Amino acid sequence: MDKISNQELFFFIFRGLFEASCIIFILWLFFIKLKMLEHFKYIGKSSYILYLAFILLWGSAQILDRLQYSFPQKVSFYPLVRFAMFQHGRSGEIAESYSWFVRLPDGKVESFNPANTFTAIGFPSLSTRMDVLRRGLESKNEIVRSQSIKEANLWAKSVRTYYDKKYQKKINGLIFYKTILEGENNLSKSEIYTADFE
């Protein structure tokens, strides 16, 4: 991870502790205070145990999985991934995005939209992954940037295979751009990495 300020670290820890407190309180409220567990005893002992195990595992992943958008991930709780759709984002996150362009053998470039191609991943997950990748490619931390370049090259190979299989067309490279929305209509882009093919 890039170095973060003491204030960012404080809010990172505070959000984690606050979320953990809320989850524990809700589970206590439903299962202990309102005695909801008594109603589940009628589903059978094995189903009851499986249900409690799922709640325990999901709650643990929700509390402990704080670095799910870091790359590479050293710890993963998949398939019990933390639900973080509505967490607070970083400043400037809305104004900055990404775009990809493929370079053809004749030197021309054309836009490539990964969301329309890698549909099995799902747009929200892909969008988040691309935002993390874009930040990694811009990182001043050499380890983070090196890992991000490896990931970018893997994406580029997938795009090359896609063009080869679907269009029987060769491409010479994939260009990763950072896009910035300045004002309402002024969209600028700057190249952050190019994956070249031999």
Q: Which token pair is 28?
A: 């206590």
Per-residue model confidence as pLDDT tens digits over 139-162: 999 999 999 999 999 999 999 999
Side chain identity at residue 137, one-letter code: L
Residue 37 pLDDT exceeds 90: no
Whether 100 and 124 map to the same domain: the answer is yes
Q: Report pLDDT digits (tens) over 56-94.
A: 888 887 777 766 655 555 666 666 666 665 555 454 444
Is there a contact between 193 and 146 (Cβ–Cβ < 8 Å)? no
Same domain, 112 and 191: yes
The answer to whether residues 81 and 163 belong to one domain is no
Domain ends where: 71, 88, 105? 88
Q: Which two tokens stand for residue 85?
A: 């759709």
Same domain, yes or no, for 103 and 12?
no
Helical segments of 45-198, H only: 45-64, 114-117, 123-138, 142-167
Q: Over the stretch 153-197, which tens digit does the pLDDT of each residue have?
A: 999 999 999 999 988 889 999 999 988 877 667 778 888 999 998
Residue 1: per-residue pLDDT: 45
Q: Return the closest-CA partner of residue 79 out of 112, 104, 101, 57.
A: 57
Q: Are residues 122 and 45 part of one domain?
A: no
Q: Are residues 83 and 106 in the same domain?
A: no
Same domain for 13 and 69? yes
Nearest of 191, 6, 4 to residue 99 by alpha carbon = 191
- Check whether residue 75 and residue 158 sit in a common domain: no
H or E stretch at 180:
strand 173-182
Q: Are both 74 and 146 inside the same structural domain? A: no
At 67, list the tokens: 């670095």
Sequence letter at residue 169: K
The residue segments making up the domain with residue 130 are 96-196
Residue of higher predicted confidence among 121 and 3: 121
Residue matched to tokens 């269009």: 167
Q: 195, exposed or middle or buried, with CB in 10 Å at 0-12, 13-18, 19+?
A: buried
Beta bridge partners, 181, equal 187
**In a shared domain, residues 118 and 161:** yes
| Same-domain check for residues 101 and 190 | yes
Q: Which residue has the tokens 């002024």?
A: 186
Condensed to tens digits (0 to 9), the pLDDT of residues 4-19 reads 567 777 777 887 788 8
- Both 18 and 79 in one domain: the answer is yes
The strand pair at 186-196 and 96-103 is best described as: unpaired
- Residue 100 is given by DSSP the state E
Single-letter amino acid code for the residue at 40: F
